[in-house]
Structure 1
């Protein structure tokens, strides 16, 4: 069934996991500590540090302990909202300096434009912050694609493997779940979305070494294979 809205994951779905792991994460590991030290008094950074202090019990005045916790979360690849928000701020400087561009699989931009022309509303749902998502699609290897999307969702709406998160998204989009399609490379995320009746497709990129997998969901290897009856 043709959906009215499509929600897509980023890492491993529209874009290479290697770009995120080997470029963005490494850049954040290198520059986030000094970024926090330099900008800790600024509103957006201070808000994240305050929330982090409240959730961890680390005193707000202990900047180095907060930085150490952020570094530990990065090593563990934790999907912590405050970490993701601060990473997004650091990545912005890298994009603006032209130090990298966001990778997209070549089948993605064409299909996104095709769906938008068909009147399908497009959204992003990623563990990266909303700010990081907008930066990602602004500075891609295929140009600025931000205007293709009607909205962006991050972990402030809920964790990606929790059923309630997808209900929140459906409520925000104001559509019945059956009219929404979710694209992801992660089985557990698709399971959570399907639990409330959202249509699902698992995108398995051979480039990521996952060509042969078992799934309860429809499988495709590129956006070009996605068609609607």
Structure 2
């Protein structure tokens, strides 16, 4: 069944995991204290959601362990926004990503993103990508506020938000438990393995070619 919408993961799917781990996370870690001190009104409500007495230390620890916590993702997104605006950051996408987005968009298939990174961070990455502004191809964004990516209920919520039957949506991710959760919710789903050692596809060029 040809899907009416495609739902894409980011890390390992559209974008190198190394970019997130080796560029974005260190950038946020380096500028976190500076950002919090310089933007108290913006930071205060975010910090209020962080447990512990030393909230900055907690956030730094979360960065180191790649904690999928919404307050951290929100703050990281704000820090990255400044980096993209200054030109210090440019969002990595695999060479096949812009081609695939353009192909699906031209075919009338709606394209959406579902990532553990905040919606703001997603828009920044695709809006300031190494291939230019790709947001014109994207119809919607979902993050951890929708629910964990390894739980079927999250995908059911996305289908409801898109006003589509789950079977009309194709989810693509490099994480098997995420693919399993999407399938459990009734979505079509493909496991992408860019190393070419497994998975259903090895590039986005193979998805609805």
TM-score normalised by length of structure 2: 0.96
* Separation in 1, partners of 2:172, 2:91: 19
| Aligned-CA RMSD value | 1.2
Aligned mates of 1:40, 1:100 — CA distance in 2 = 24
Deviation readout 1:74-133 (Å, 9 max, x if unpaired): 111100000000000001111111112111111111111111111111100000000000
* Alignment match of 2:197 (pick from 204, 212, 220): 212
Match of 1:41, SS state, is helix
Counterpart in the other structure of 2:124:
135
Structure 2: runs of 5+ lacking an equivalent:
none
**Residue 140 of structure 2 is aligned to residue 151 of structure 1:** yes
Question: Matched residues in 1 for 2:73 and 2:58: separation?
Answer: 13
Point out the structure with max Rg over C-alpha. 1
Q: What is aligned with 1:31?
A: 31
In the alignment of these two chains, the number of paired residues is: 209
- Displacement after TM superposition at 1:196 (Å): 1.4
Q: Kindly provide the CA deviation profile for residues 53-74 of structure 1, in whole angstroms up to 9, marking residues without a partner as x.
A: xxx2x3xxx5xx1101101111
Identify the residue that residue 7 of structure 1 maps to in structure 2: 7
2:47 to 42, 45, 49: 49
Matching residue of 2:204 = 223
Unaligned runs of 5+ in 1: none
Q: Distance in 1 between matches of 2:39 and 2:130?
A: 29
- Residues 180-225 of structure 1: per-residue CA shift (max 9 Å, x gap): 000100000010000011000111112xxxx313x5xxx1111111
1:76 counterpart = 2:65: yes
Q: Secondary structure at the match of 2:112?
A: strand
Distance 2:57 2:208 in 1: 47
CA distance in 2 between partners of 1:168 and 1:196 (Å): 9
1:227 shift after superposition: 2.4
